[in-house]
Amino acid sequence: MNILMFGPNGSGKGTQGAIVKEKYNLPHIESGAIFRENIKNQTEIGIKAKEYIDRGELVPDDITIPMILDRLKQDDCKNGWLLDGFPRSKEQAVRLDEALRAAGLDLDIVIEVILDREIAKNRIMGRRLCANDNNHPNNIYIDAIKPDGDRCRVCGGELSARSDDQDEEAINKRHNIYYDTDTGTLAAAYYFKDKAENEGKIKYITLDGAPSVKEVTAELMSKLG
């Protein structure tokens, strides 16, 4: 099962992605998390990528595309994957499509979480990361997942805010890329939507990201079947 997740930063895409990963027992490949790991370990990729990430810009394709396509060739991806954060542009979508075709692989499901831009921005600025698990949801602006004081509501772990989450200008830049239907991330999503409509192989699922996590998950589960 090969699955792509789309959704603006702040839409709860990561949270729903973790649920999809459990349901199908897939490795959750998150391009942003791979970059953060590389930055932490001060690898060559990490050092090159950091300046773009800090500015809220896309890391150049000559770094990003081979990094992701190599990751999809690793052993744990043999029975499928859930790819999240890639493709982020129409160009990346075309390159992924070509790479899958060359490898004889099909895309099975594409999930698009739809959310208003302003709501997404507030959610990002309230997001907190747990030191023990990136998928533990904590957000100071969402009642249902408010941290427990200044600790993770799930495990009591230490919380921090990602520096790029607090930079409004960088958030706007990231959203400009996401909501761009000509060459940006929505263009990438719609590239696969067109394929789903024209070729019929891909199941394209849209989710309203505005309700609570539980409600979005319920919609997701009913649409996945």
Interaction site with ligand AMP (CB under 6 A):
9, 31-32, 35, 52-53, 56-59, 64, 85-86, 88, 92, 174
Give dist(CA 7, CA 33) in Å, integer.
16
Please say which residue, 9 or 138, places its beta carbon nearer to ligand AMP. 9
In the beta sheet, which residues pair with residue 199?
Answer: none
- Burial pattern 39-58, b for ≥16 Cβ within 10 A else e, equals beeeeebbebbbeebeebeb
Query: For residues 85 and 147, which CB has a smaller minimum distance to ligand AMP in the complex?
Result: 85
Nearer to ligand AMP, 56 or 209 (CB): 56
Q: How far is the CB of 222 from ligand AMP (least distance, A)?
A: 26
**Residue showing the smallest CB distance to ligand AMP in the complex:** 32
Question: What number of residues does the chain have?
Answer: 225
Nearer to ligand AMP, 134 or 217 (CB): 134
State the chain's maximal CA–CA distance in angstroms: 50
CB of 129 to ligand AMP, least distance (A): 10
Rounded Cα distance between 159 and 172, Å, is 24
Q: What is the bridge-based pairing of β-strands 28-30 and 81-84?
A: parallel
Minimum CB separation from ligand AMP for residue 55, in Å?
A: 8
Find the shortest distance in angstroms from Cβ 40 to ligand AMP: 13
